Structure 1
């Protein structure tokens, strides 16, 4: 099978508020890969993800995401890039004033979906995919943490992203619920989205192996698999 490189970073330096966070980053993500980013709080994991979706500029080096040169990416091209990315945040960021269904509908309409029946069909598809097909009518505050995270994942995969970025998706969940979320992410990966997941929970790496990079001492270092 031909390799398809979705992200390529070579010698990349990343700064935040004038401070050097990561230096000399070499990183590659291929289609269908599941990659973990591990490291202490403040070591640069979330900062690294922000450069992928254009939230933070890259100071030095070569960086390509889905064919976009991230050193030269114009502001107007950030939104089209983000449509090809799914982002799962630890703190959910669901709109609390509307139902699960309307949270998903809002994202589809914001990303250019027009036909009502297509919108409904896609919402039903993703809710089924994350095992929440009967929860569309609920408000976010009526759901458990694990259920809310499933809805966040449903929202992230609405536009069938080529890359899914999951920033500590199990951070606020108990161990068993966290496992179920990782299993769900593995299923999504098997269906074609490459996934980068940051985590503190090193037990998950043993149970659900993947490629591992560690952020430490301003570096992003590949960790030997297995």
Structure 2
């Protein structure tokens, strides 16, 4: 029997404040896939990601995320769903008043981890995975943009999510640093997490393979990776 997609959107419509953002969206994300969402600024890419973690409501159509019907999912169940997703923001959203280590510990405690030894071990693992094992004691403002983004990715993978949503993860970075971030995400994908990444940097598509969807004129179309 074929595995169910992690995300399945069929004929989905999305609007904000009465304005149509996306219409008749069909999207699938399967285990281990790397999927790009491309399109101009304001084309609806980030809004689409927000529907996946329940920050923006879906008006019509069928939308399933990790077995949850998004149009009928109760508000109280959204935190449970979000724990199964890793979210990488363009603007980092790290807590600036505490160290890298404390940022990661905060997330683990907030998501139900209690055993101190396990917490320490998991923080060590993710920092190693993103190549930041010696930076746990640093404050976010002591890190470069690329280093901060690596910490954000470490935070996103703490709970070994099946899906990582990366919203313009290279948007604030120089080209070379951006490349290294995509290489890291590709590596995480190979280890089992499906990745859905928005980007307006089309050069990345030719360098790093993946399925491509384009947001344009309120529609989403699957396109070629070139």
Q: Please state which band the TM-score falls in when normalised by the shorter chain.
A: over 0.9
SS in structure 2 at match of 1:82: helix
Work out the CA distance in 1 between the residues paired with 2:203 and 2:35: 15
Distance 1:209 1:125 in 2: 27
Question: Secondary structure in 2 aligned to 1:205?
Answer: helix
Equivalent position of 2:154 in the other structure: 154
Counterpart for residue 144 of structure 2: 144
In the alignment, is residue 127 of structure 1 matched against residue 127 of structure 2? yes
Q: Which runs of 5+ in 1 are unaligned?
A: none
Which has the higher mean CA deviation after the structures are superposed, 2-11 or 153-162? 2-11
Give the distance between the partners of 2:197 and 2:16, measured in 1 at CA.
Answer: 21
Partner-residue secondary structure (3-state), 1:172: coil
Gaps of 5+ in 2: none
CA distance in 2, matches of 1:5, 1:41: 28
State the SS of the aligned residue for 1:165: strand
Post-superposition offset of 1:2: 4.2
CA distance in 2, matches of 1:89, 1:205: 19
Provide the C-alpha distance between the structure 2 equivalents of 1:17 and 1:30, rounded to a whole number of angstroms.
Answer: 31
Alignment root-mean-square deviation, CA: 0.9
Give every structure 1 segment of 4 or more consecutive aligned residues whose post-TM-superposition deviation is greater than 6 Å.
none
TM-score, length-scaled by structure 2:
0.98
Using the TM superposition, give the Cα deviation of residue 17 of structure 1 relative to its aligned residue in structure 2, in angstroms. 1.4
Residues 1-226 of structure 1 correspond to what in structure 2 (within 5 A)? Answer: 2-226=2-226
- Inter-partner Cα distance in structure 2 for 1:185 and 1:104: 18
* Count of residue correspondences: 226
SS at match of 1:183: helix
Paired with 1:224 and 1:121, the residues of 2 have a C-alpha distance of: 41
